């Protein structure tokens, strides 16, 4: 898909990979409607000329506000990128509400946004749903609920692609590796968010089903030979 002239609704577009993707999509001629939560970061994107909806997607009212914008503007591309990583500890019952919130944002909201916007998108000759998952969707580490959310979104993406076969709506799953953003505080090797966004955009333009980015390509190769080894690699990294 050529992004030129397309309207893109991008969640989590105020920081990290989403912010870089917003910039690069705009450079390619797309109109990018950003969703973010933090007021200052939303304002910073507005000052760069983006149209921004400030909404906490965990809240039902936030979801409704974003759906209203998407329906009113008409969306060619929906990018489900907003997510959180932390908050749940299996040994701490007090964190179960954090698990609810994480699963809502990372898994249920992409499903809700897709379902709300799909009727309009189906009428277009060319449209796309981009779901940002993770290498952890293939092989989990010890962030159990995050990994569950991402493998759930991966399964949803695969199933949705099958469901939409023969329509103009393409489903792309983007699987980033470790990327240097606020979400990822690891001290290991991390890809620059600009490069990650560049690879997602390239997959969008090529019409690929999956963007296996950086080390995720290697992980996929290991997984195809030995799923147990791939799981060990992710557990120990
Ligand atoms: N970074 C990595 O190493 C890595 C690896 C694999 C996959 N990923 C995936 O890549 C995607 C982007 O991650 P990132 O590292 O770029 O994250 P990030 O820098 O932490 O940015 C997250 C974005 O999501 C928004 N967001 C968070 N909670 C929200 C909520 N409740 N409602 C609305 N917006 C909300 C944030 O807005 P506010 O700042 O306003 O809250 C921000 O714009 C995620 O799906 C993540 O799981 C990242």
Q: pTM above 0.95?
A: yes
Statement: residue 188 has pLDDT above 90: no
Specify if 2 maps to a domain. no
State what percent of residues in the chain have pLDDT above 90: 95
The CATH number of whichever domain residue 198 belongs to comes to 3.40.50.720
184 CA to middle of ligand 1, Å? Answer: 10
Domain count, the chain: 1
Average model confidence (pLDDT) across the chain:
96
Work out the average pLDDT over 142-153: 97
> How much distance in Å is there from the Cα of 84 to the middle of ligand 1?
6
Q: What is the DSSP string of the chain?
A: ---TT-EEEEETTTSHHHHHHHHHHHHTT-EEEEEE--HHHHHHHHHTT-EEEE--TTSHHHHHHHHHHHHHH--SEEEE---------TT-GGGHHHHHHHHIIIIIHHHHHHHHHHHHHHTSSSEEEEEE--GGGTS--S-HHHHHHHHHHHHHHHHHHHHTTTSSEEEEEEE--SB-SSS---SS--B-HHHHHHHHHHHHHHT-SEEE-THHHHHHHHHHH-HHHHHHHHHH-
Question: What is the pLDDT at residue 83?
Answer: 98
What range defines the domain where residue 163 resides? 7-236
pLDDT in tens, 57-108: 999 999 999 999 999 999 999 999 999 999 999 999 999 999 999 999 999 9
Report the pLDDT averaged over residues 188-207: 97
Query: Across residues 126-145, what is the average pLDDT?
Result: 96
Q: How far is the CA of 225 from the centre of ligand 1 (A)?
A: 31
Q: What is the pLDDT of residue 187?
A: 85
The CA-based angle 101-107-112, given to 5 degrees, is: 100
From 15, 35, 198, 203, mutation site for ligand 1 pocket: most ligand atoms within 8 A of C-beta: 15
Domain presence at residue 1:
no
| pLDDT at 22 (0 to 100) | 98
Assess whether the C-beta atom of 16 lies below 6 angstroms from ligand 1. Answer: yes
Q: Is residue 26 part of a domain?
A: yes
Query: Does residue 201 lie in a domain region?
Result: yes
Q: Is the pLDDT of residue 218 over 80?
A: yes
Q: Which of 114-118, 147-151, 184-188, 199-203 has the lowest mean pLDDT?
A: 184-188
Ligand 1 contacts CB of residue 134 (under 6 A) = yes
Please report whether residue 93 resides in a domain. Answer: yes
Residues annotated as part of the active site: 146
Give the residue-averaged pLDDT of 205-223: 96
Query: What's the pLDDT at 233?
Result: 84
* CB-ligand 1 contact for 213 (6 Å cutoff): no
Assess whether the C-beta atom of 132 lies below 6 angstroms from ligand 1.
yes
Tell me what pLDDT residue 236 has: 75
């Amino acid at each position: 898909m050529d992004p030129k002239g397309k309207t893109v609704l991008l969640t989590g577009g105020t920081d990290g990979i989403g912010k870089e993707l917003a910039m690069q999509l705009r450079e390619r001629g797309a109109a990018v409607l950003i969703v973010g939560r933090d007021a200052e970061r939303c304002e910073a994107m507005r000052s760069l000329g983006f149209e921004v909806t400030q909404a906490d997607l965990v809240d039902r009212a936030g979801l409704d506000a974003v759906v209203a914008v998407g329906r009113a503007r008409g969306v060619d591309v929906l990018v489900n990128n907003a997510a959180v990583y932390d908050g749940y500890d299996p040994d701490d019952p007090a964190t179960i509400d954090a698990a609810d919130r994480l699963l809502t944002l990372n898994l249920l909201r992409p499903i809700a946004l897709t379902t709300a916007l799909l009727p309009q998108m189906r009428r277009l000759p060319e449209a796309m749903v981009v779901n940002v998952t993770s290498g952890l969707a293939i092989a989990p580490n010890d962030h159990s609920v995050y990994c569950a959310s991402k493998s759930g979104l991966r399964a949803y993406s695969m199933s949705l692609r099958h469901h939409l076969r023969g329509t103009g709506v393409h489903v792309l799953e983007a699987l980033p590796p470790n990327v240097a953003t606020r979400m990822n505080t690891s001290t290991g090797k991390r890809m620059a968010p600009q490069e990650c966004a560049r690879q997602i955009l390239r997959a969008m333009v090529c019409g690929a089903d999956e963007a296996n980015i950086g080390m995720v390509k290697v992980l996929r190769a290991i997984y195809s030979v030995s799923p147990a080894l791939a799981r060990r690699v992710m557990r120990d990294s």
